[in-house]
Amino acid sequence: MSNIVDPLVGQIATRIRTERERRRWTLAQLADASGVSRAMINRIERGESSPTAVVLGKLSAAFQLSVSSLLALAEGAADDTAPLDGDGETGSVRRRGDAPEWSDPATGYRRRQITGPHFPAEIAEVRLPAGARVPYPAAAFAFLRQVIWVLDGHLTFHEGDVVHELDEGDTIALGEPCPRVFANTSGAECRYAVILARAERP
């Protein structure tokens, strides 16, 4: 999917630049912290390149934010001036079409934020195409309590050296941070929910 089609690309670019600047990091410092090249970060921040799920995982790990947090913050960038209803979402109903869906240009992995940036927990719906494999570094899971809930299909979940085969209805509560891989080794799409308690921002 091109960055013109994905409505979140510009907001992701702004959020990554904002997170870098609030830490007073240069592009080179973020590149060192994340393992993503300076040139790639520059293209992402300028909205010239849509980050892959792997790149987002590395950048979020460098910021000590979850991927869900980074995407929720990006989505909320356009709504920061909206009035809040206590500590929850604005308004009472959020239609499916109101939640932008981010797509990984490398794998076709699609992620839709169910909760917005002002809700005290994070829930995302993920659709993982057949044959797709998305790895995340251990740092992307630091300071988080997270549950994976398979809604449809089959998920092969690598947690360090341990492999879990998860079917529809299965859940797994993640333990201490370690490298993790979400893989779909089946011939059909896998749909799962990511549910996590939001840690304080660094």
- In this structure, is residue 191 part of a structural domain? yes
DSSP for residue 126: E
**Matching residue, tokens 């660094």:** 202
Q: Is residue 202 part of a domain?
A: no
**CA 102/CA 75 separation, integer angstroms:** 10
Name the pLDDT band for 200 (thresholds 50, 70, 90). Answer: low
138 assigned to some structural domain: yes
2 domain-assigned: no
Q: Encode pLDDT of 135-180 as tens digits.
A: 998 888 877 788 999 999 999 999 999 999 999 999 999 988 899 9
β-bridge pairing 133-136 and 180-183? antiparallel
Read off the pTM.
0.79
pLDDT reported for residue 145: 84
Q: Is residue 4 situated within a structural domain? A: no
Nearest to 197 by CA among 111, 119, 86: 119
pLDDT tens-place string over residues 82-103: 333 334 445 567 777 777 788 8
As for how many domains the chain has, the answer is: 1
Q: Are 196 and 68 in contact (CB under 8 A)?
A: yes
Checking if the pLDDT of 199 tops 60, the result is: no
Range of the domain at 119: 9-197
Residue percentage of the chain with pLDDT more than 70: 84
Angle between the N-to-C axes of helices 67-76 and 9-22, in degrees from 0 to 180, rounded to the nearest 10:
110
CATH of the domain at 21: 2.60.120.10
